[in-house]
């Protein structure tokens, strides 16, 4: 395979020059697109340039991919594996890299034997590697302005250059600083607490934080909003808010020498939200702008500067309808002893009473109640056998719920 880079693009220019630009083969049927990517400033990402060809056999293509160098710096561009695999030994590839983006020119085969067949979708042309240098989302767009002479964005069909439909790809720049709500759970009728924290990766020490979240008041009810960080001022809005809204403001320190700021380079827990469960289900804990009176946005202030809004990491409170139990406590007396094994054998073979909590009798947690569970109890009590599986030695939720063995009418009872 003949490969030339940079100056080799002159050969491709000559090849394309003999073709007359036309809308041959349906023209608009051909299309260029790109993948998207995401990352934080300083990260490296790859966008892949793609070709859809429903219109006819293609002999080659060329294009530029333009970006703003203030946002994305091109550090590499390579033929995609699809192109490498397809290109014949008589083919030609030219890639150049400019400040504003790369160009690619491909002749699959000078003898016309190798073509990109009609019906090919999502064919990889070029992989472009970028460093993220900007702080906001930036896009790459197909263009015909890069190079000298400029490289046209065309495909080659039946000896003619055809302008395809074109759509670019974007790099979603993620702020590495985060406001985080964690994920917690409880049982129906129980309580829980969510933690709101600030992960400060690149900002200076923080003077103040405005925090607003919403939740599903049909599933959980708020029982308290308490500062974890020892801020000088912590306020919770009590008027002008709707059900399911919590609006909070925190000033870390406003008294010289200002030595109690929320630290840089660390994740700091700021607030605890208390909950009682009201119904089975999952309530999202969602960071929300524009709530409260007057409307407030989530923001972070350092000195006199309002920083770019951190990435908002939403949390949840899951309420499950399961009962707690003690594994191997088959007779439900809160103690695991010989009586539990006897109770289980009577149930299995003597027509004894049903267990109150089937899951408790499943000592080996295999999803069934049988004699092996009672032998497990006797081995544990008298022959130094393994202890019952969780939950043990303290009653708790079943870590393997969903096995069909429930407890006292909970969601696993069938």
Question: All domains of the chain, ordered by start, with CATH?
Answer: 2-173 (2.60.40.680), 178-320 (2.60.40.680), 324-414 (1.10.1330)
Can you give the pTM of this predicted structure?
A: 0.66
Nearest to 134 by CA among 306, 308, 301: 308
Residue in the block written with tokens 């020498």? 257
Residue in the block written with tokens 């702020």? 175
Beta-carbon contacts of residue 269 (< 8 Å; ≥ 6 apart): 195, 196, 197, 228, 229
| Whether the bond into 271 is cis, omega within 30 of 0 | no
Q: What is the mean pLDDT of residues 144-160?
A: 95
Residue 88 has pLDDT above 60, yes or no: yes
Per-residue pLDDT reduced to its tens digit, 313-349: 999 999 988 888 999 999 999 999 999 999 999 999 9
345/331 Cα distance (integer angstroms): 11
Residue 10 has pLDDT above 70, yes or no: no
Per-residue pLDDT reduced to its tens digit, 217-253: 999 999 999 999 999 999 999 888 899 999 999 999 9
Instruction: Output the pLDDT for position 22.
Output: 42
Q: How confident is the model at residue 84 (pLDDT cuts 50, 70, 90)?
A: very high
211/328 Cα distance (integer angstroms): 46
């Amino acid at each position: 395979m003949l490969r030339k880079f940079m100056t080799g693009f002159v050969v491709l220019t000559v090849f394309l020059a003999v073709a007359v630009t036309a809308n041959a083969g349906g023209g608009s049927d051909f299309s260029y697109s790109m993948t998207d990517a995401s990352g934080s400033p300083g990260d490296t990402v790859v966008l892949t340039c793609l070709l859809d060809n429903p219109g006819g056999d293609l002999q080659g293509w060329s294009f530029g991919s333009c970006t703003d160098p203030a946002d994305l710096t091109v550090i590499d561009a390579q033929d995609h594996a699809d192109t490498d695999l397809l290109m014949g030994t008589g083919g030609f590839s030219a890639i150049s890299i400019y400040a504003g983006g790369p160009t690619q020119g491909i002749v699959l085969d000078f003898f016309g034997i190798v073509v990109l067949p009609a019906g090919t979708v999502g064919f990889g042309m070029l992989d472009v590697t970028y460093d993220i240098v900007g702080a906001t989302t930036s896009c790459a767009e197909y263009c015909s302005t890069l190079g000298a002479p400029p490289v046209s964005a065309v495909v080659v069909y039946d000896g003619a250059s055809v302008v395809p439909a074109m759509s670019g790809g974007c790099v979603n720049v993620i702020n590495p600083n985060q406001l985080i709500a964690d994920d917690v759970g409880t049982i129906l009728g129980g309580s829980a607490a969510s933690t709101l924290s600030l992960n400060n990766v690149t900002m200076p020490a923080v003077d103040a934080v405005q925090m607003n979240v919403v939740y599903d008041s049909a599933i959980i009810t708020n029982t308290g909003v308490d500062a974890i960080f020892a801020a000088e001022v912590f306020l919770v809005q009590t008027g002008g808010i709707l059900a399911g809204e919590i609006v909070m403001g925190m000033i870390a320190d406003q008294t010289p020498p200002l030595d109690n700021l929320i630290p840089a380079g660390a994740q700091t827990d700021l607030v605890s939200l208390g909950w009682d469960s009201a119904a089975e289900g999952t309530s999202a804990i969602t960071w929300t702008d524009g709530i409260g009176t007057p409307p407030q946005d989530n923001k972070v202030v350092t000195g006199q500067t309002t920083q770019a809004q951190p990435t908002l990491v939403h949390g949840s409170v899951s309420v499950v309808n399961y009962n707690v139990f003690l594994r191997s406590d088959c007779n439900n007396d809160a103690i695991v002893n010989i009586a539990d094994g006897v109770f289980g054998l009577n149930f299995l073979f003597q027509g004894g009473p049903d267990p109150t909590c089937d899951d408790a009798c499943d000592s080996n947690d295999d999803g069934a109640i049988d004699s092996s569970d009672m032998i497990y109890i006797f081995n544990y009590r008298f022959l130094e056998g393994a202890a019952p599986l969780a939950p043990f030695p303290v009653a708790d939720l079943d870590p393997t719920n969903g096995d069909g063995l429930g407890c006292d009418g909970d969601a696993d009872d069938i």
